[in-house]
Amino acid sequence: MTKSSFSSIQSEYLALIDHTKCVRCKRCIQNCGWGTYSFGGDKIIADHFKCVACGRCYTYCPEGAISIVKNPTVIRENYNWQEYHIRNIWKQSETGGIVISGMGTTFKYKKYFDHILLDACQVTNPSIDPLREPMELKTYLGKKPSKIELDFNEEGEPVLKTKMPPQIELQTPFVFGAMSYGSISLNAQKAVALAARALGIVMNTGEGGLHDDLIPFGKNIIVQVASGRFGVHRDYLNSGIAVEIKIGQGAKPGIGGHLPGEKIGMDISRTRMIPIGTDAISPAPHHDIYSIEDLRQLIFAIKEATNYEKPVSVKVAAVHNIAAIVSGIVRAGADIVYIDGYTGGTGAAPNIIKDHVGIPIELALAQVDERLRDEGIRNEASIIAAGSIRSSADAVKAITLGADAVAIGTAALIVMGCHVCGRCNTGNCSWGITTQRPELVRRLDPEVYGERLYNLISAWSHEIQEVLGAMGVNSIESLRGSRERLRGIELTDAELRVLGIKHAGL
Amino acid sequence: MITIDAKGMYYRDLNRLIREGIAKGVKKFFLENVNGQYYIGDGIKGDDIVINVNGVPGNDLGAFMDGPTIIVNDNAQDNVGNTMNAGKILIKGDAGDVVGYGMRGGRIYILGNAGYRVGIHMKGYNEQLPVIIIGGKVGSFFAEYMAGGVIILLGLNDTGDTGSDYFAVGMHGGVIYLRKKIDFSKYSKEVELYEADDNDMAFLKKYLSEYADSFNISIEDIMGGSFYKIVPSSARPYAHLYTSA
């Protein structure tokens, strides 16, 4: 069918310029990655259709002359036929395409973290003052032996006889989630790498290979292997602290990835080791993994290639039978299991998947922890929880539900200026994060945002120490899976049962 | 040069011996009585290393390999040359499923047939050109998502249809050469078929000569007649499917 140039879709936002304040410096024209602004002879004019409310223009307008408002021209309110549905129908009738967007779902599902309350000490078992007392946040990710044996040296001091499997040492129980070079810019990756090194934690390459500039950060990097095997080779596997096999992602369980050819420039081509301009397709399944046994085969292929010196992580999306799935993954030999909830972010995913597939990380985590304990294999692997950890409170609750550490993705991008406009897929990110356009990437200073990332995680770590003190424990280890310290509020019996916690008041 | 008797040996011990040998500077390995041991040659590096395998090696032979040569004097199993970067694997019998998954360089020459999903997601990059040559026929999902490199399917001694179902689905890079035309209805919609031209024939001669020499067969027997080539219609087969929210 020929495409009609007429579109029935109204602009979502209006970019309003106060011309009495505007000094025509044209900074907005320069800053907007979407081409919303242009100079109309004597004043700035805005093409509202291009605005995605990414917030770059008003942040950088020196006169405060710009406001972005929701288009007040209403689509008549109807709880059944919401604006979201109506817009999608129009868009799809005009293009015939699958609607895709970036970031996590925008749907208003129940947020379980907001219905969980933490315990604190009063009178007996007194709280601890974290300002004076040491509070241990150090976390080791990897397989732990089910028992340890000690020897004694000549001075009679105990020495560990058991050979420990390889571990990742984290100074605080955070990791940066997988975001590939391609989905985000190299400057954004560098900011994350600088912060990871300064914090003594790790970042993750995602399935985009390891850029030369990041090789010196190897001790703070988990390298990823996914179905497209982009940039994966022997030296790559050995250049990080651990290797992660990506099976699924919370924002898009069950489907693959796809970096469009127009984003594959020279540098990304080199890092992913694919030709310039070719679509980088990561198929939905690994074509050699159709069973737990096949997964085991890849885990040990990687262990063989890295001489059993690196922990191997397996990343999966939280889906309906997650407890059984994770049990299988642990039995397949994974040292770490990374579970990504349905509110997790992405560079691009079909809305149908993002908004309707998967389950909340809180529920998945509780069930996985319980299942692994019941089976007596909880020590066999560490668990990383992910899927929009928005605050240190979310992190503490996740750890108390059974996670060893939590992953930060979207929050890290928000540090760099992201306003969660969800248009990462277009490659026009005005903040220089999810774009490869050199003039946009250049504006993201890795040093500046590396420091801000450091600040955020430091602040969150201090907050966790405060909470530990209030709960009367001096180590994050004491809190792991300690669900007795959690209570639910405004939750049904079924929800409490899945979470394995009591209702507040009990 | 060392000889290892792999009879009854656990794969981890066998592969550790190979890695230790390489670290000590051993260049030639003879593995005897190999019987299904996984991961032989996994992640090893060095252009002058040669591993001679007597018996049937197990899955993931030469996975992540970067330079060495492996010669298998028998059949091989699944995942030969998984994500291989450089080097050469010769198989004097048949190979199992998923040969050369994500392979980015080097050569895999198979005298006999290969199973399902051969050359899946194979990709070329710069001067790195992975080449797979199969003497016999292949199973379904041949060259699925192929993104680069070259696969030559000869169909020697095969009177039936060399091709298979879901042939080259999702192919968006690289070239497949066929010694026989196959039923076109089995091709993916994303590819086009041409008769090989002089340039193609010169390329084929170079690699097929090496292939023929490796297996002591006559190049004339292979090269006689015309060849066909299959290339993708687009480097971006799915670009039209999506619209931004």
Q: What is the pLDDT of residue A6?
A: 62
pLDDT tens-digit series, residues B100-155: 999 999 999 999 999 999 999 999 888 899 999 999 999 999 999 999 999 999 99
Total domains, chain B: 2
- Residue environment code for A195-212, b if the CB has 16+ CB neighbours within 10 A, otherwise e: bbbbbebbbbbbbbbbbe
For residue A391, give how far its alpha carbon lies from the nearest alpha carbon of chain B (Å).
28
Tell me, yes or no, whether A116 lies in a domain: no
Q: Residue A143: give the domain boundaries.
A: 139-503
A44-58, A293-307, A458-472, B168-182: range with lowest mean pLDDT? B168-182
pLDDT tens-digit series, residues B165-192: 888 998 999 999 999 877 777 777 889 9
B113 and B27 assigned to the same domain: no
**Among residues A41, A73, A101, which one ends one of the domains?**
A101
Q: What torsion do the CA atoms of B16, B22, B24, B26 make, to the nearest 10 degrees? A: 120
Q: Do B64 and A275 touch (CB under 8 A)?
A: no
Residues A3-9 have a mean pLDDT of 61
Tell me, yes or no, whether A432 lies in a domain: yes
Query: Which among A372, A423, A104, A78 is positioned nearest to A249, based on CA atoms?
Result: A104
Tell me, yes or no, whether A408 lies in a domain: yes
Residues A431-441 have a mean pLDDT of 96
Residue B162: band (very low, low, confident or very high) from pLDDT cuts 50, 70, 90: low
A145 and A222 assigned to the same domain: yes
Number of H helices, E strands in chain B: 3, 12
Q: What is the pLDDT of residue A96?
A: 92
Residues B50-63 have a mean pLDDT of 98
B15 Cα distance to chain centroid: 22
Q: Do A260 and B104 touch (CB under 8 A)?
A: no
**Among residues A44, A73, A101, which one ends one of the domains?**
A101
pLDDT tens-digit series, residues A331-359: 999 999 999 999 999 999 999 999 999 99
Q: What is the pLDDT of residue A2?
A: 42
B99 and B211 assigned to the same domain: yes
Q: Do A228 and B121 touch (CB under 8 A)?
A: yes
pLDDT tens-digit series, residues A166-191: 999 999 999 999 999 999 999 999 99
**Among residues B19, B40, B75, which one ends one of the domains?**
B75
Of B63, B238, B239, the CB nearest to A305: B63
B177 and B70 assigned to the same domain: no
A353 and A418 assigned to the same domain: yes
Q: What is the pLDDT of residue A75?
A: 85
Q: Which domain CATH number covers A352?
A: 3.20.20.70
Residue A232 at interface with chain B, using a CB cutoff of 8 Å:
yes
For residue B240, give how far its alpha carbon lies from the nearest alpha carbon of chain A (Å).
7
Tell me, yes or no, whether A130 lies in a domain: no
B113 and B170 assigned to the same domain: yes
Q: Which residues of B touch A429 (CB under 8 A)?
A: none
Q: Which residues of A touch B101 (CB under 8 A)?
A: 229, 287-288
Tell me, yes or no, whether A446 lies in a domain: yes
Tell me, yes or no, whether B243 lies in a domain: no
B132 and B225 assigned to the same domain: yes
Ramachandran area for residue A96 (φ above 0: left; ψ -120 to 50: alpha; else beta): left
Q: Do A287 and B241 touch (CB under 8 A)?
A: no
Q: Do A101 and B245 touch (CB under 8 A)?
A: yes
Residues B6-18 have a mean pLDDT of 97
Q: How much of chain B, in percent, has pLDDT values that exceed 70?
A: 98
Residue B23 at interface with chain A, using a CB cutoff of 8 Å:
no
Looking at the predicted structure, is the pLDDT value of residue A485 above 50?
A: yes
Q: Do B245 and A91 touch (CB under 8 A)?
A: yes
Tell me, yes or no, whether A54 lies in a domain: yes
Residue A3: band (very low, low, confident or very high) from pLDDT cuts 50, 70, 90: very low
Q: Which domain CATH number covers B116?
A: 2.160.20.60
Contact (CB, 8 A) for B32 and B6: yes
Looking at the predicted structure, is the pLDDT value of residue B159 above 70?
A: no
Residue A422 at interface with chain B, using a CB cutoff of 8 Å:
yes
A309 and A260 assigned to the same domain: yes
How does DSSP assign A89-117, residue by residue?
HHHHHHH-PEEEESSS--S----GGGGEE
A406-410, B130-134, B222-226: range with lowest mean pLDDT? B222-226
What 3-state class would DSSP assign to A438?
helix
What is the spatial order of strands in the sheet that A116-118 belongs to? A116-118, A486-488, A502-503
**This prediction's pTM:** 0.95
B61 and B161 assigned to the same domain: no
Q: Do B102 and A232 touch (CB under 8 A)?
A: yes
Residue A9: band (very low, low, confident or very high) from pLDDT cuts 50, 70, 90: confident
Q: Residue B62: give the domain boundaries.
A: 1-75
pLDDT tens-digit series, residues B71-96: 999 999 999 999 999 999 999 999 99
Q: Which residue of A has its CA nearest to B100?
A: A288
Q: Do A306 and B148 touch (CB under 8 A)?
A: no
Looking at the predicted structure, is the pLDDT value of residue B11 above 50?
A: yes
Q: What is the pLDDT of residue A5?
A: 52
Tell me, yes or no, whether A115 lies in a domain: no
**Among residues B46, B75, B104, which one ends one of the domains?**
B75
Looking at the predicted structure, is the pLDDT value of residue A474 above 90?
A: yes
A87 and A165 assigned to the same domain: no
| B 66-85: CB under 8 A from A | 66, 78-79, 82-83, 85
A368 and A457 assigned to the same domain: yes
- Residue environment code for A344-372, b if the CB has 16+ CB neighbours within 10 A, otherwise e: bbbbbbbbebbbebbbbbbbbbbbbbbbb
Looking at the predicted structure, is the pLDDT value of residue A226 above 80?
A: yes
Residue B238 at interface with chain A, using a CB cutoff of 8 Å:
yes
Residue B124 at interface with chain A, using a CB cutoff of 8 Å:
yes
Residue B200 at interface with chain A, using a CB cutoff of 8 Å:
no
**Among residues B75, B102, B121, which one ends one of the domains?**
B75
For residue B78, give how far its alpha carbon lies from the nearest alpha carbon of chain A (Å).
9
Q: Which residue of A has its CA nearest to B79?
A: A288
Looking at the predicted structure, is the pLDDT value of residue A16 above 80?
A: yes
Q: What is the pLDDT of residue B190?
A: 84
pLDDT tens-digit series, residues A125-172: 889 998 899 999 999 999 999 999 999 999 999 999 999 999 999 999
Length of chain B: 245
Q: What is the ipTM of this complex?
A: 0.94
Residues 6+ apart with CB under 8 A from A284: A227, A254, A255, A256
B101 vs A258: CA distance, rounded Å: 18
A367 and A415 assigned to the same domain: yes
Residues 6+ apart with CB under 8 A from B178: B153, B155, B162, B163, B227, B228, B229, B230
A269 and A409 assigned to the same domain: yes
Query: Which among B139, B148, B55 is positioned nearest to B97, based on CA atoms?
Result: B139
Total domains, chain A: 2
Q: Which residues of A touch B147 (CB under 8 A)?
A: 274-275, 278, 281
Looking at the predicted structure, is the pLDDT value of residue A4 above 60?
A: no
A161 and A79 assigned to the same domain: no
B54 and B163 assigned to the same domain: no
Q: What is the pLDDT of residue B108?
A: 98
Q: What is the pLDDT of residue B235?
A: 80
Contact (CB, 8 A) for B58 and B76: no
